[in-house]
A and B are shown apart, each in its own frame.
Chain A
C-alpha cells in the first residue's frame, strides 16, 4: 500500500509539439521528392505543350495547374494524411503517441496541421513555377491559397481514416479515383477536389474560362459542381473540422495494440 497525495498539475503536450511530430512522420524525403518532382513534371509538360500543341504560355500554365489540382494535389494530400496516424496504426507504434499527456483533440488537430505543412514544399514549388511562367501575383496567390484550403479539406477526413483503418491509404485513393474522377458527374457534391477547384476559379475570376473548361469539360455543367467561394470555404473548413472531431473520437475509443 502506498500513500497517494493529491497530485500536482503536470505540464501537458502542445498542438505545436504534436504537429512537429506529425510533420516529421509524414514529410519523409521520399514524399517530398515525389511531390516536388510531380510539380516539375507538370512544368515540363506545360513547356512541351507550348511547343508541340501550339498553346500560349498562359494556356500551357493552366494545363499544368489544372493537372496539379486534378491529380497531384489530391493524391499527395490523401497519401500524406492517411499516413499521419496510419503509419503508427499499421506498424503498432500508436501506443507511443497515445500514451502521452496531451488532449486527443490536440493530437487530431496537430496531425491535420502537420499534414498540411508537409504539403507546403509542393505548394511553394508550384507557386514559384507559375510565377516563373509570368503569372500575375493574383494568380500565384490564388494557386497557393486554394492549394492550402484544398489540402485542409482533404487532410481532416483522411487523417481520421488513417486513425481508424489500416487500409486508409487504399480507401482514400479509392475515394479520389471513384468518387472524384469516375463518378464526379453524379457525386460532384461530395467531391473535396471540386470545392477546391471552385474556390480557385472564383479567386482568379474572369481568367477562369479556360481552366473551368479543362476541369469541367462539357457544355452543361451541373451548377452544384461550381459552388460559390463562400460555400467552398465553408464546406472545406467544415469537412476538415469534422475530420478532426472524428479523429478525436477514434483516438478516444481506440483499442491500442
Chain B
C-alpha cells in the first residue's frame, strides 16, 4: 500500500499556440473537497481538462490515483467530470441518456444506477421530456448525476453551481461535502467565493496560469506577512483599550470608524489576541466582539490575485 495524493500535477505547462494557459504548476490534491479558484482566464478549466485527460500537457506529469488519465480515460470509472459546457445530447431524455452512459461504463443494472443518480440530484427519473427542454439548473444536475454513475473516487467539477437556484445550490454543496466526507477527492472550481467557503477551507488558487497558493486559506492568510491583519473589536471603552494595545505594542495602527468600534491592524495575530484580553481586563473594558476583517476567502483571493 502506498500513500500518495489522489491528484498530482508536477511542473505542468499547457500552451495553446502562443497562449500559455497553465505555467509550471505543481500541486497535490488529497481526499475531501478542495476548491479551485481563480479569475477568468486563470487556467482553471484547462487544469481540470488536463487532469481528466481531455487534453495532453505540453510539459510535465499528471497522475490521478497514480495513473495517467490521458492514457486511461476515466481510470476504469474512478475519475468523473462535470464539464463546464452546458451542452447535453438534446434528443435524449435524462433517464435514457444516463442509462446509455451507465451501460457504456459497464455498470451492472444501468437503468437502476441511472435512476439512483437522478434521485440523488432531485431529478425525476420518470420525466420523459427531452433534455433540450430542460432549464439550465436541471441540465446542471443531469451533468452531476452522470458523473456519479460509476461511483468515482475522484470527482472533478467545473463550475457546477452555475445556473442553479439557491435551494439547488444548497443541495449540491451538501452532496459534494458528503462525497468528500466519504473519502473521495472532490475538486470544485468556482468563482463564487461565498459558496466556495461553504465547501471547506482547502483551496488551490490560480492566477495568470500560475499556482498562486494552495492549502487552507486561513493558513495562507497567516503566511501573508507583508500585509497586516485587520481586526474589528467591539467594546464599551474603545479609546482606553486602543491606548493600552498601542502601549503593549500589540497593534501597529488603530482607528475608530463608529462609536464603540475599534479597528486594529497587527502583524502578529496571536500576540494581539492574548494582549486584547489582558489589556481589556486592565482598563476595565468589556469586549463583546473580536472579528478578523480580512481572514475570509475573498480577501485572501483578492490579495493573491492583485499581487501577481
Contact = CB atoms under 8 A, between A and B. Distances in A.
Interface string B51-84: 0111110000000011000000111111111010
A101 B73 CA distance: 6
Interface string A1-32: 11111110111111001101100110010000
Interface stretch (B98-106, B212-220, B246-254, B299-307): B98-106
Contact of A98 (B54, B65, B88, B96): B54
The 9 nearest A-B residue pairs measured at CB: A11-B106, A17-B103, A2-B31, A10-B76, A256-B54, A13-B104, A92-B87, A21-B100, A101-B77
11 contacts: A2-B31, A11-B106, A12-B77, A17-B104, A28-B91, A98-B54, A98-B73, A99-B52, A101-B106, A256-B54, A256-B55
B54 A2 contact: no
Given A13-B106, A101-B150, A102-B106, A2 B5 contact: yes
B146 interface: yes
A176 B16 CA distance: 35
Nearest to B65: A4
Interface of B: 1-6, 28, 30-31, 49, 52-56, 65-66, 73-81, 83, 85, 87-92, 96, 100-101, 103-108, 110, 146, 150, 183, 185
Interface centre among B66, B90, B101, by most chain A C-beta atoms within 10 angstroms, is B101
Judged by DSSP, the binding face of A is: loop
A237 to B, nearest CB: 26
Contacts of B100: 17, 20-21, 24
Contacts of B80: 99
A190 B246 CA distance: 90
Interface residues of A, number: 37
A125 B90 CA distance: 28
Contact of A18 (B30, B83, B96, B104): B104
B65 A7 contact: yes
A6 B108 CA distance: 22
Interface of A: 1-7, 9-14, 17-18, 20-21, 24-25, 28, 87-88, 91-93, 95-102, 104, 255-257
Given A13-B103, A24-B96, A99 B65 contact: no
Nearest to B69: A99
Contacts of B96: 24
Given A1-B4, A14-B106, A96 B101 contact: yes
Contacts of A101: 73-77, 105-106, 150
A18 B3 CA distance: 36
Nearest to A90: B87
B3 A4 contact: yes
B307 to A, nearest CB: 28
Contact of B78 (A1, A10, A21, A88): A10
Contacts of A21: 100-101, 103-104
Given A24-B100, A91-B87, 20 more contacts: A1-B4, A1-B30, A2-B30, A2-B31, A2-B185, A3-B1, A3-B2, A4-B4, A7-B76, A10-B150, A11-B106, A12-B76, A13-B103, A13-B105, A13-B106, A93-B89, A99-B79, A101-B73, A104-B73, A257-B54
